[in-house]
Amino acid sequence: MSAPSPFPAALLIFDFDGTLIDSKYDIATSVNLTLRDLGLPTRPQEEIFSFVGDGVKRLLRLAVGEDHLDRYETALKIFREHYLAHCLDTTRLYPGIEQVFAQLGDVRKAIATNKSLEYTLRIVEGLGVREWFAAIESPEESSELKPDPGMILRVLATLQVPPERTVLVGDSTNDVRAAQAAGIRSCAVGYGYGKPEKMLALAPDYYCQTPEDLLRLFSRTTS
């Protein structure tokens, strides 16, 4: 993909896991603690990493496995306790994200994540970055998981920002599809959990290999 011209965004909507934060180790720890408590075999970290991105319900369905779905509701309750206790053990902002937010301070920012709001707020508050975001949206029901555009449309309505000045930044095909469904621009990032080749096959408007690349793309002062 050739280098695009800078775009004067008024609003950047960010995915969370794999885009702003590296949370996969705390998620894997909490999943395996849940499986242990259920008396089920634990799973390799890399396998659990591949389950991340479509919300905690799908994560746990995959982790528990088809043969033990009768334990799924119990798993949800157990996981909640473990994850709230461990979600800040190793989870950190990706290197460079803090610089991006500091230098793009005149651009409004929001989160639209498939992660539950309870977990998202615990992490943004624990990392001390709650004030960075003008809005934080999680699915109100399972049908709103990205690639559904519902969360994005709520952010646009809440902040009263035109779609043509808005970009969704994310690390998965779900993010690119959600942006396209909402009628906004998409920026795929290559440093997260998703597969760049799959995202690029959907023709996102922009692609950033590193967080620092975002600085070269988005500025309200760039004409």
Identify whether residues 96 and 166 lie together within a single domain.
yes
The C-alpha atoms of residue 172 and residue 49 are separated, in whole angstroms, by 13
Does some domain include residue 222? Answer: no
Does some domain include residue 44? Answer: yes
Question: What's the CATH number where 148 sits?
Answer: 3.40.50.1000
The C-alpha atoms of residue 139 and residue 115 are separated, in whole angstroms, by 8
Does some domain include residue 223? Answer: no
Strand partners of residue 19: none
Question: By percentage, how much of the chain surpasses pLDDT 90?
Answer: 83
Distances (CA, A) of 94 to 4, 23, 97, 207: 23, 10, 6, 17
Does some domain include residue 97? Answer: yes
Does some domain include residue 6? Answer: no
Q: Worst-scoring range by mean pLDDT, 9-18, 57-66, 91-100? A: 57-66
How open is the CA angle 201-205-209, to the nearest 5 degrees? 75
Owning domain of residue 194: 11-22+92-217
Does residue 181 surpass a pLDDT of 50? yes
Question: Where would I find the H helices in 65-195?
Answer: 72-86, 97-103, 117-126, 150-159, 173-182
From the CA atom positions of the chain, what is the Rg in Å? 17
Which of 15, 22, 148, 205 is an active site residue? 15
Question: What's the CATH number where 65 sits?
Answer: 1.10.150
Indicate if 54 belongs to the active site.
no
Does residue 220 surpass a pLDDT of 90? no
pTM score, whole prediction: 0.92
At 99, the amino acid letter reads Q
Average per-residue pLDDT for the chain: 93
